Amino acid sequence: MNDVHERFERLLRLVLDGSCTEDDREDLSQLIVEHPGFEPELVDALSIHSLLMWQSDDVSGLMLGMKQFADENEAIPPADAPSGGGVWKATGLALPWRWAAAVFVTLAGGLLAWNLITPSRPAAIAQIVATDDVQWADDSTALRAENAVDAGRLISHAGSFTLEFRSGPTVRFSGPATVDIESDMLIALQRGQATADVPESGVGFTIKTANVHVIDHGTQFGVAAGEDGGTEVIVFEGKVDLENRIRTAAPQQRLTRGDAVRVDATGAVNRIMQVGQNTDGDWWTTAHGDLDNTIEEVRDNIPSGIGTSYSCFQIAFGGLDDDAFAYADHAHQWNGLSAQGLPAFLRGADLVRTFNDYRYIPDLEMIVTLRKPANLYVFFDDRVPTPDWLASQFEDTGVDIGLDEGQHELTPDHQVAVGGGNSIDQIFSVWSRRCVEPTPIRLGPVGPTAEARAMYGIAATPLESASWSPDANTLTIGGLAIERLAIRGLP
């Protein structure tokens, strides 16, 4: 296949799937003029595609009529045609087929010339499959009947909406949001938050913002475009490539499960230390804000440049239950040891998804800051000797829970089970600390030895009868305000 024909086929595909630009349309028209030998292929492609789009009518009779018309006119030349048919069969496109095409244009209302002369609407690029209190702007141009979405712009003032693209990806937008739908494989997020779930059929699906392209490799990931020109990207599963649109000389960066970055308006890439998620996992935020969660912040002392520089803790608000993911970077899950599941005092706790890859870092330090008085829990691997930092600050409750290990590099065929008591691979002791002061708690490494191990987990539940005052100098218990100095000796 020569370069000209490849160019013709590429332009024709763009026209047929509705993703062409005005320049693409003009290029295709000019190419047909310069190379009339492409006309039969063009007629065939546009005829079939237009008929498929014209689904509301019975086109079988039209197709039969066109064939008969063409057959008759091929056998019987026009009255003014020269004898011998020398001009009857024209080079490139036979004259009777030109007549058949003209009849088709008349009967089908011009659909044959649909994207070359006066473009009409192609098949929808996406469908709106869910909304939640969404408020559409009047100038949204991509909306059409029956929840279909065309190429164009979608603007929401509030709420959320979910699109299912014909290429396979499902994307939830949380508003206010502005997004330009360019094709079923490319969208431009101008503002707001998008969380994408992309199957293998949609690999290559791209979300672009003012400063990055986020290119999917079959995954779940989130992108948020801020008013300041910055972009936040987090990978919940799988991997994506990050292409910097500001610092164009920079190589693509691969982000994998548990990674999160913020790219500012200058193109600088920085680690996001944590994100918060709701119970369903369909909403996330990097802002600490005025949320009513128990855990406010988790930080570590891991410097950039050692392979974990983009690791991002995920705080699942009220997210601890059976089959909850234990780590941000692995598919392992917490479960109860029996069919009854996790103990009641742990269910619904704020859960910190830590990093299993941190388990061998000898000088690890993690700092947990609470928003309110709470019971803070650490789940610690029974295979490992209890470290001093844990024994000195926490108490062993005597309760154990299980870790169901999912697929990872050493066990690629390992799969997690569903429900408590199933597929328990490791046992963890539950350690607790009653925190009545807003003092950050420092946690240390798993230990200095090199035995098989898993990283500890972190969770917290509020002390329902206690609250801190805004200035953090008093504690209120049962309506009685107590000065901080009076409670320093409490456990």
Cβ–Cβ < 8 Å for 125, 184: yes
Residue 477 lies in a domain: no
Amino acid 32: pLDDT: 77
Amino acid 58: pLDDT: 43
Amino acid 281: pLDDT: 62
Amino acid 53: pLDDT: 52
Amino acid 47: pLDDT: 60
Residue 478 lies in a domain: no
Q: Are 107 and 132 contained in the same domain? A: no
Amino acid 486: pLDDT: 35
Check which CATH number belongs to the domain holding 169 and give it.
2.60.120.1440
Q: Are 308 and 417 contained in the same domain? A: yes
Residue 367 lies in a domain: yes
Q: Are 301 and 440 contained in the same domain? A: yes
Cβ–Cβ < 8 Å for 454, 426: yes
Amino acid 103: pLDDT: 42
> pLDDT tens for residues 393-408?
999 999 999 999 987 6
Q: Are 279 and 233 contained in the same domain? A: no
Give the residue numbers spanning the domain of 416.
274-461
Q: Are 293 and 356 contained in the same domain? A: yes
Amino acid 57: pLDDT: 44
pTM: 0.69
Amino acid 410: pLDDT: 62
CA distance 33 to 38: 9
CA distance 225 to 22: 28
Q: Are 74 and 40 contained in the same domain? A: yes
Domain count of the chain?
3
Burial 409-445 (b: 16+ CB within 10 A, else e): eeeeeeebeeebbbbbbbebbbbbbebbebeebebbb
Amino acid 238: pLDDT: 93
Pairing of strands 186-197, 206-208: parallel
Q: Are 324 and 370 contained in the same domain? A: yes
How far apart, in Å, are the Cα atoms of 389 and each of 364, 369, 393, 394, 401? 12, 17, 6, 8, 21
CA distance 279 to 182: 32
* pLDDT < 50: residue spans in the chain: 54-70, 72-78, 81-118, 306, 470-491
- Fill in the amino acid letter for 16: L
Among residues 272, 298, 325, the one where a domain terminates is 272
Amino acid 472: pLDDT: 44
Residue 360 lies in a domain: yes
